[in-house]
Amino acid sequence: MARSNLKPNMEITERFINYTKFDTQSDDSSESVPSTPKQLVFAEYLKKEMEREGLSDVEMDEMGYLYGTLKANCKKKIPTIGFISHYDTSPDSSGKDVKARIVKNYDGGDIELSPGIVSSPTKFPELKSHVGEDLIVTDGTTLLGADDKAGIAEIMQAMCWLRDHNEVKHGDIRVAFNPDEEIGKGAHHFNVEKFGCEWAYTIDGGDQGELEYENFNAASAKVNIKGVSVHPGYAKGKMINASRLACEFCAMLPHDETPETTEGYEGFFHLIGMQTSTEAAKLSYIIRDHDRDKFEDRKAFFEKCARIMNEKYGEGTVEVLLNDQYYNMKEKIDPNMHVIDIVLQAMMQSGVSPKVKPIRGGTDGAQLSYKGLPCPNIFAGGVNFHGPYEFVSVQVMEKAMNVITNICEIVADYND
C-alpha cells in the first residue's frame, strides 16, 4: 500500500505521481459500492490531503464519495460552483504497481518504456503534439491512471493556488471525488443536493483544450442463448448449438457500425465479451449513439434480431436484456450555455485553444446533468487512456489547473 509523504502545496507533478501509486481499479462484475475496497484506501488518503491543504466541510460517505469546500474569500454574492473527478481506474489494464516516470523535454522520437516495449509516434501520433514537453509515462506493463487522477491533481493544485493567492476573489468552490466512473456508476450515488452547486465541471477529458458537452446515449445489452446439446453423430434435428447461434446473432448486426469503423457522431454496437458452449452462450454488448432517436432505433433493432432467431429456433432460445446507462447531456446543457461560455473565456485567458467536440463515450457529468447539475467535461490532459501507452504532459496538467482557477475568477464577476 502506498504511504503518504504529503507536504503542503506540493507541485502538481509530485501530487499526480503520488496518486498513481494507489491501485484503484473498479470492477464491473461487482455489486458493492465502491466496486472494489481498494478504492477506499485512496479515498481515505485524499480525505486527509484535502483537510491538510485547508479545505473545509471535508467528508466522505460510506460509499467513498468525497466532498469538500474552498470557502469564499469575499462578501459579494457569487454562484457556488464545483469541480469533480473520479479516482477509480479502468478494469481494462492493470493499475497495480504503476511505475510512473518523467520524460523531460520530449524530443519527438520513440520512448522506450521498458526493454522491448516502445511508445512510438508512428503508432501514437498524438505524441507529436507534445514535443518539448515533460511527459509522464508508464513502464509499459500497467496503465498510468491519468484518467482521472490527473483531474484530481489539477483540482487540488488549483484549490491550493487560490488558497495562496487571496487577491484572486472567488465564491464558495466545491470539489468532489468519486469511485466507479469507469464502470458507468460514478454518479449513481453522488449527492447533488449535498454538493449544493448551481453548476459544475468534471475534469475528466483528454488532451489540451478539449471541452465536451455532448456524449453518447448509452445502453448495455446482454444476450443469453439456450442451446440443446446432443451427441454430434446423432444431432440432426435435435441439436441447437448455442456457440453457432452466438455467431449468427453477431452476424445480424451491421458490420460497419462498430467502434473500429465509426467516428464523430456515428453510433455503434460493440461486442465486449463472449462465453459460449454448445448448451449456452452469453454475449455482452454496449450500444451507443449521440442521437436519441437513433439510439432507440438501435435498441429496437437489437431486440428484433432476437425475435427473428426465436422464430427460427424456438421461443425462449434467445433472450435480450437491455439497460440504459446514461443519456446525452447536451439536452441539459443547451438551456445553460453560460457554463460553456465561462469555460471558453477561461481557456482563452489560459492560452488554450478550445477544442469543442462530442465525447465518444460517457462521463459522470452526463448523469449529473440529468440529476439537475449542469456539468460539462474539461480536459485533464491524459492520452491513450486505459492502457500501458497512456501518458500525460506536465505542461498540459498545469494548463488545466490554470483553466480551473480562471473559471473561479470569472464566476466571481458573474452577477456584476
Binding site per annotation, positions for Zn(2+): 86, 147, 182, 204, 386
Return the residue matching grid coordinates 511508445. 119
Cα 119 from Cα 225, distance rounded (Å):
41
The string over 16-35, giving b where at least 16 C-beta atoms fall within 10 Å of a residue's C-beta and e elsewhere, is bbbbbbbbbbbbbeeeebbb
Are 227 and 242 contacting, i.e. CB atoms less than 8 angstroms apart? yes
Q: Is 173 helix (H, G, I), strand (E, B) or coil?
A: strand
Known catalytic membership, residue 416: no
Neighbours of 75 (CB within 10 A): 7
Residues with Cβ within 8 Å of residue 329, at least 6 apart in sequence: 213, 214, 215, 363, 365, 366, 369, 370, 375, 376
Residues with Cβ within 8 Å of residue 137, at least 6 apart in sequence: 100, 101, 102, 103, 111, 113, 119, 144, 390, 391
Q: Is 268 helix (H, G, I), strand (E, B) or coil?
A: strand
Give binding residues as ranges: 86, 147, 182, 204, 386
What is the chain's alpha carbon radius of gyration, rounded to the nearest angstrom?
A: 23
Are 20 and 166 contacting, i.e. CB atoms less than 8 angstroms apart? no
Catalytic member of 172, 181, 207, 210: 181
Known catalytic membership, residue 59: no
Q: Is 135 helix (H, G, I), strand (E, B) or coil?
A: strand
**In one letter, which amino acid is 15?**
R
- Residue 279: C-alpha distances to residues 227, 236, 241, 318 (Å): 4, 16, 7, 12
Catalytic member of 23, 49, 53, 88: 88
Residue 68 has φ and ψ, to the nearest 5°, of: -160, 170
Q: Give the DSSP H or E segment for 112.
A: strand 111-114
**What is the spatial order of strands in the sheet that 81-86 belongs to?**
56-60, 66-70, 173-178, 81-86, 199-205, 377-379, 210-212, 355-356
Catalytic residues: 88, 181
